[in-house]
């Protein structure tokens, strides 16, 4: 116990600070986490889309990988940041907009034969989330950041499915989803999390990197997902 | 990298499940996190007051320590759980109720010489939070759970001060506080976090256990806080 080493965190990374307050009067080295940033587990983080103001903070996390759940081309500034820091990008493009089905309300009278709009979860493909989960579960990708645009829906679905694998009870999974959706929780996402089929994943070893004394010596097999855009030898 | 070990997580701990859904149809081994549970950082967790329904989940975290910020005697069932699992308790009793000051509103006319109720932060003592932070910063206490009653205000203040030490910018610190206060954010807590004096702590090494490749070999000095109620040799 006495030999345990402490680890350096976030030393001397400069990010611009506009407001001078007691919270940052020690200099201009305050770190700016991305929108809706949170720690999911040891070595796994989540957030909204990071921009250049967040690069100092991301650097302090010493990321090895980023999972982006947006389908658009990754911004050039972010690409350069990843290249400079040897961070691998896994992009699983999922459309973030709500999918609306027009459902006939059978309670209406035949005269009011209207179709009503209803949210659908068909825009979150199970298979894409399953592939992303395999990346999350591989400790060789940690520390890892999961993000979409606002870090609420697509990210919330992926983390919710991870919690299923971690055997959290459903009410707690949905509490966490709702808490980070910050008033924008979607019924369809919550249904997706509840119904997601974990059977093909549940025999994979799960990592929990805050328990360094509990290594059980299981080495995960190599991941077969090349980064979609580029790969750099790890410099960390 | 090839030798990196995966760690076992949460195997076979039984907790009662009332509702049978696809999320727990794999058996009755679903884990129930305490109210408002969240990961603060690798090896640091936060929540509301855990009860016996949460013991299976807490066991899966393989905690070494708990910081309780409530002043009341720790419940006997929780004491027994800590004893059985070799978890050390650090209790820093802080009154959780809002302290109200009656402040004269100087904008009133002399005829309406009324006193107005205003929240005060005097019920969160800086020195107590500072002592609790020293326990949080000592990696020998990790994995560690910080809790109060609902995991919102006292816990939010302590985590907010930790974020100050981690050099997060103030708006992000307050976003996190508000997110986990779930609509019950207190102005007084946010002022406390902003004004908290970190000068005596900022030269301590900070830990970030998700970055195992960045050990710098700094060993923290022994913690001088005996547990308030009992101590067990660590069995982990």
ipTM score above 0.90? no
d(CA A75, CA A16): 21
Burial of B201 (0-12, 13-18, 19+ CB in 10 A): middle
Residues 194-223 (A) with a CB less than 8 A from some CB of B: 194-198, 202, 205-220
Any idea which residue has 């989803």 for tokens? A177
DSSP B5: P
CB contact (8 A) between residue A38 and residue B38: yes
At A95 the pLDDT is: 84
Among B4, B12, B86, B167, the strongest candidate for a mutation testing the A interface, having the largest count of A CBs within 10 A, is B167
Buried b / exposed e over A119-128, threshold 16 CB at 10 Å, is bbbebbeeee
In a domain, B217, yes or no: yes
Q: pLDDT tens digits, residue range B82-139?
A: 999 999 999 998 987 764 444 444 443 444 444 444 454 457 889 999 999 999 999 9
User: Who's near B25: CB < 8 A, 6+ residues apart?
Assistant: none
- The pair of structure tokens assigned to A76 is 């050039």
B117 has which bridge partners? Answer: B102
- Domain contains B19: no
Task: Classify residue A78 by burial, with Cβ atoms within 10 Å: 0-12, 13-18, 19+.
Answer: buried
Asked whether residue B4 is assigned to any structural domain, the reply reads no
Q: Which of B16, B34, B42 to mutate to test the interface with A (most CBs of A within 10 A)?
A: B42
- Is the model's pLDDT at B218 over the cut of 50? no
Dist CA B49 CA A87 (whole Å): 38
Q: Would an 8 Å CB–CB cutoff place A53 in contact with chain B?
A: no
- pLDDT average, residue stretch A79-92: 96
- Whether residue B231 lies inside any domain: the answer is yes
CATH number at residue B64: 3.90.190.10
User: Is A2 inside any structural domain?
Assistant: no
Contacts of A30 (CB under 8 A, 6+ apart): A15, A17, A23, A24, B167, B168, B169, B170
Residue A8 covered by a domain: no
A3 belongs to a structural domain: no
Which is it for the CA torsion B59, B60, B63, B67, positive or negative?
A: negative
* Residues of A with Cβ-Cβ distance to B5 under 8 angstroms: 139, 215-219
Question: Domain limits at A173?
Answer: 27-200+207-235
Number of domains chain A is built from: 1
A234 touches chain B (CB under 8 A): yes
Instruction: List the structure tokens of B4.
Output: 């990196």
Q: What band does B62 get if pLDDT is binned at 50, 70 and 90? A: very high
Domain-located, residue A5: no
Does the model's pTM come out above 0.80?
A: no
Ranking A93-97, A128-132, A138-142 by mean pLDDT, the lowest is A93-97
């Amino acid at each position: 116990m006495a030999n345990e080493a402490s680890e350096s965190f976030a030393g001397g990374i400069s990010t611009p600070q506009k407001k001078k307050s007691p919270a940052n009067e020690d200099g201009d080295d305050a770190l700016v986490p991305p929108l809706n940033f949170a720690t999911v587990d040891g070595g796994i983080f989540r957030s909204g889309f990071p921009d250049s103001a967040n690069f100092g903070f991301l650097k302090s996390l010493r990321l090895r990988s980023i999972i982006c759940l947006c389908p658009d081309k990754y911004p050039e500034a972010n690409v350069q940041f990843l290249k400079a820091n040897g961070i691998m990008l896994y992009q699983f493009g999922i459309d973030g907009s709500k999918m609306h089905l027009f459902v006939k309300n059978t309670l209406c009278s035949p005269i009011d034969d209207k179709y009503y709009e209803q949210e659908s979860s068909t825009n979150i493909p199970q298979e894409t989330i399953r592939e992303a989960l395999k990346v999350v579960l591989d400790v060789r990708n940690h520390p890892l950041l999961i993000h979409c645009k606002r870090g609420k829906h697509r990210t919330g679905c992926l983390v919710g499915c991870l919690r299923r694998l971690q055997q959290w009870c459903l009410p707690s999974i949905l509490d966490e989803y709702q808490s980070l959706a910050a008033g924008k929780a979607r019924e369809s996402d919550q249904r997706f999390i509840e119904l997601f089929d974990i059977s093909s994943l549940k025999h994979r070893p799960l990592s929990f990197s805050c328990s360094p004394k509990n290594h059980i010596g299981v080495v995960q097999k190599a991941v077969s997902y090349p980064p979609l855009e580029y790969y750099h030898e790890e410099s960390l």
